[in-house]
Amino acid sequence: MATEKLSPGMQQYLEIKADYPDAFLLFRMGDFYELFYDDAVNAAQILELTLTSRNKNADNPIPMAGVPYHSVQQYIDNLVDLGHKVAIAEQMEDPKQAKGVVKREVVQVITPGTAVDALDADKENNYLTAVDFDGSVYGFSYIDLTTGEFYVTQLTEFADVVSEAASLQTKEILFGYEATEGQLSELTARLNVLVSHQKTIMDNMEEARLIPSILPLVEKNVSLKLLTYIKETQKRNLSHIQEVKVYEVTDFLKMDYATKKSLELTSNFKTGKKQGTLLWLLDETKTAMGTRMMKSWIDRPLIKKERIEERQKVVQVFLDNFFERVDLVESLKGVYDIERLSSRISFGKATAPDFLQLRNTLSQVPQIKSILEAIADPALDNIIQHLNDIPELRSLLEESIAEDAPRLLTEGGVIKDGYDEKLDEYRQTLREGTAWIAELEARERQNSGINGLRIDYNRKDGYYFHVTNSNLDQVPDYFFRKATLKNSERYGTEELAKIEGKMIEAREKSSIYEYDLFMAIRDRVEAYISQVQALAKTIAGLDCLQALAVVAETYQYVRPNLQVNGDTINIVDGRHAVVEKVLGRQEYVPNNINLSKDVEIQLITGPNMSGKSTYMRQLALTAIMAQLGSYVPAESATLPIFDAIFTRIGASDDLTSGQSTFMVEMMEANNALRLASKNSLILFDELGRGTATYDGMALAQGIIEYIHNNIHAKTLFATHYHELTELDDELNSLENVHVATLEQDGDVTFLHKIENGPADKSYGIHVAKIAGLPKELLARSQEILDKLENQAPSLQNKDGLEDLSQRNIEVAEVVKEESAQLDLFGDFGADSELVKKLSAIDVMNLTPMDAMNLIWELKKMI
C-alpha cells in the first residue's frame, strides 16, 4: 500500500474493502467499475484485463484495473463461475451534486451460491447450503435463490453432510459453527465448493416468518443463519423465498454420492455431462422447470408406495390417451420458466419481456386444464385442481404490457396504449408534435425556396433547420443561428422552439411516468409470487409425468409391481435402460433377475467385459426408476421397495484426498455394512481387488458372510475369486450365477446372458486377446496357464480358503519355474532389460491396476 497520503476516494475504497476482505470489490467511478491493489492484480490475470496504476508518479503506485459499467455483468459472471465472491459498490448520489467524495455503498455481494444472473444453464438448480452443529446432530439447510425453494433437515454424521452437499452439487457451503480442519479438508477434497461462514443471526429479520417456531433448535438456527447470509449479501427484497420445508433423508431412497456417481444418474462418470445418464434417458420434459424437477426425482426416489402409485397412475393415463398427450406436449412448449421469473420479480430485475412470458404462460393454463379435463380420469383430479391461471394477474398483464415491449425500461413503448390516460396524453402530444414539425418543415421550405431544407434533431442542439452553405443567401430573417458546421448551418425559429419545448417536455415526462407505471405494475405482480410458484410446481410435475409416459411408450417399458417389505426380486427380460438406448433394442441382450425370498446374495462370476457390471447396474437403475414413479425396461418386474442402495462398482483412486483404490473400496464397503438394512440393495463389484490376492479374497469372503449372517439385504456380488463360489455350500441364502460364454475353435464369444452356477473359467487370456496384446505373448501365457492348472490341482480344493497359503506357494513355484524359460522372448538375451523387468515381478502381489501399468511398460519396451 502506498505510504503517501491517500485521496479521500481511496480512503473510502479501503474502508469499504475492509468489510469485504474475501470478495473482489468493484468500485463504481463514473462509467467504470475499478479494482485496486491485490484485487486489481488478481482480476487482471483472471479476466485478462489491462493492469495500470493510480498515482503513477508516486513511490508506490496503486495497482488498478477497470471494466466499463455497461459490460460489467460478464466479468462478474466469470469471477463467480470460478468460485469467487464479488462485492458491487455503487455511487449513491449524483457526482455533480455531491459535496466532496461521492457517497458509495455495497449494494450486493454475488457469490457462487447466490448467483441469479450468472447462470449459463437455466435447467440447473443453484443451491446455497448451510450446516450447523449443536454438539450431537447437524442442521442442514439449502436454498435456491433462483426459484425460492428452501429446505432443512437433521443429519447424524458429517459424512452425511458431505454426501447431501455432493448430491445437491452445491457451489457454496456456509458454516454456522467452528468446523474442524478435518471436516473442512474432507469437504473441499470431495467437492469443488466455496466455503463461507455465518455464525450470527440477524435480529428482527422479516424472513424469520418462513421458519416455523416448532422446529428443533439446530434446524431453526441453520435456517436463520442461511437467511441472514442471504440478507447481508443480497441487500434486497426476498419475497419469493418459500416457507422452509422440513424433510427427512429417510423419506426417500437413500443413496450416497458415490452410489449416484457410479450409477451415472445425472452426471456422466467420464465427461461430467448429462449425456449417457439416467436423466438423459428420462428427460423428455418440455420446460426448464420440468427438467429441474426430473433431476430432483432421480436424486430422491420415493419409498412410500402410495406416492409412487399416484405417479404410476398418471403415467398410465397418458399412455392410454395418446392424442390428448400430444396436445398437452404442444401446450407445454408455450410455458416459460415462471419459477425463476419469481426471483427476478422479487429482486426487482423483472423486465417487460419477462412479464410477457408470464402472461403467455398463464394464457396456456386454461388450454392445459381443458386437455386434462377432457381425459376425465380421477388420477388427474389433483393436478387439475392446482392448475390456477391466476385470472387477476393475467388480466393485469394483458391490459398493461405492450406486445413488443423492449427490455430497457427507459426507451418507452413498455406500457400499452389505453392503460393510463395521462400517458396517452403525453403520447398524443408526441404524435401531434411530429405532425407539427412535418407541417412546419414543408411550409418553410416553400416560404424560403430552399428545396433541401429539412428539420433534424440531436441531443445537443435539439430541433433545427439544416441549411447547406450554398443556400445561406436564401435563409429568412426570422431564422436564428444555433450552430455552424464546415459545410452547413443550423437554424432555429420561435415556432420550432415552441414545438420543441412541448415535445421534449412530453418525451421526458412520458419516459419518467411510464417507468413509474411499470414499477407499480411490478409491485402488484409481486403480490402473486406465491401463486405463481405453486403453479410452477404443478406444471413441472405434470411435465415430468408426461415425459415418463413418452419414455415408457418409446422403449416399451412396463409398470412394475412394488411390494412393501417385499423379499422377492423377479425381473423377466430386464434391460439396462441407458445402455439399451445407446445400443438399440435389437442389439441389447436382456437378462432375468431372480432372487426369491430364500436367496439374499447372488455371487456373480465370469470374465471381464462379459456384462457383470451391466447386470448389476441394470437392477439398481430398474429399482430407482420404479421408485421415482417410472415404468421400467422389462417384460415384467416385481420388486421390493428398497430403503437404500449401496454400491461399490468400478475402481478409482481418490487422488485429491490421497486415498488409494483399496481405501476407497473399504470406506464404501464399510458405509454399506454400517447403514444397510434387510430392505436395502447392495451391489459390490470385484471388492478386494485393490490389495494383494490373500487379503482381497479373505476380505471378500468376510464381507459376504457378514451380509449373509447379519444384514440379510438383497446383494449382488461380482468377483474374480473363483474360490468364493464354494460358499454356496456353507451359506444357505447365497447362490452362484455366471455370465455365459461360447468357446469354439479357441475363440470365445461373450453371450452376456446370466445363467445358474459358477463360471468354469476366467477367460482372462481371451480378454487380453480382444484387447490386442501380441500373439506370441498370448501363446506363451496360455502355456503357462496350462502348466499352472496341471501342476497346482489343489487350486480346485473345495475346502474354502483354509489352504490359501499352501496353494499360493504352489502357484509361486510354478511361476518361478516358468519365469526361467525364455522361449517367449526369441532373440532377447538373459541380460536384456525386458527379462530383468519380468524377473523382478512379484506376481502374487500385483493388483489389477499394477498389472495393467506393467503390461503397458513391457509393450513399450518391446
- Binding site members for ATP: 606-613
Kindly give, in sequence order, each residue whose CB lies less than 8 Å from that of residue 84, ignoring residues fewer than 6 positions away.
Answer: 23, 24, 46, 112, 194
- State CA 29 to chain mean position distance: 36
Chain position carrying cell 436564401: 474
Let me know: does 349 contact 301? Beta carbons within 8 Å.
no
Element (H, E) at 753: strand 747-756
List strands edge to edge, sheet with 32-36.
52-54, 62-68, 32-36, 23-29, 85-91, 104-110
Q: Which of 672, 526, 530 is nearest to 601 (CA)?
A: 672
**Rounded-to-integer distance, Cα 653 and Cα 646, Å:** 18
Element (H, E) at 509: helix 494-526
Strand 23-29 and strand 85-91: the pairing is parallel
Strand 734-744 and strand 601-605: the pairing is parallel
Phi, psi of 32 (to 5 degrees): -130, 155
Coil, helix or strand for 465? strand
Given phi > 0 = left and psi -120 to 50 = alpha, else beta, which region is 388? beta
Task: Please give the sequence-ordered ranges of beta strands (E in DSSP) within 589-732, or none if there are none.
Answer: 591-595, 601-605, 636-640, 645-648, 681-685, 714-718
Chain position carrying cell 453371450: 751
Phi, psi of 151 (to 5 degrees): -135, 155
Kindly give, in sequence order, each residue whose CB lies less than 8 Å from that of residue 746, ignoring residues fewer than 6 positions away.
Answer: none
Element (H, E) at 640: strand 636-640
Q: Which of 67, 71, 20 is nearest to 46 (CA)?
A: 67
C-alpha distances (whole Å) from 784 to each of 505, 777, 792, 809, 849 are 99, 11, 12, 16, 21
What the block records as the C-alpha cell of 473 is: 443567401
Binding residues: 606-613
Kindly give, in sequence order, each residue whose CB lies less than 8 Å from that of residue 77, ignoring residues fewer than 6 positions away.
Answer: 115, 117, 118
C-alpha distances (whole Å) from 192 to each of 47, 467, 656 are 20, 67, 11
Give me the amino acid identity at 582.
V
Q: What is the DSSP string of 724-744?
A: GGGGGGT-TTEEEEEEEEEEE
Q: What is the DSSP letter of 710?
A: I
**Rounded-to-integer distance, Cα 759 and Cα 605, Å:** 6
Q: Which of 71, 65, 19 is nearest to 42 (CA)?
A: 65
What the block records as the C-alpha cell of 126 is: 443453484
Instruction: Please list the residues that pair with 716 across neighbouring strands.
Output: 602, 683
Element (H, E) at 548: helix 529-555
Q: Which of 144, 150, 207 is nearest to 172 (CA)?
A: 144
**Rounded-to-integer distance, Cα 152 and Cα 161, Å:** 12
Q: Where are the alpha helices (DSSP H) in 215-336?
A: 217-234, 257-263, 278-282, 288-299, 305-320, 322-332
**Rounded-to-integer distance, Cα 833 and Cα 251, Å:** 61
Q: What is the DSSP letter of 709?
A: I
Instruction: Please list the residues that pair with 54 across neighbouring strands.
Output: 62
**Rounded-to-integer distance, Cα 210 and Cα 826, Å:** 80
Instruction: Please list the residues that pair with 151 across neighbouring strands.
Output: 142, 245
Task: Please give the sequence-ordered ranges of beta strands (E in DSSP) within 39-189, or none if there are none.
Answer: 52-54, 62-68, 85-91, 104-110, 127-133, 138-144, 149-155, 172-175
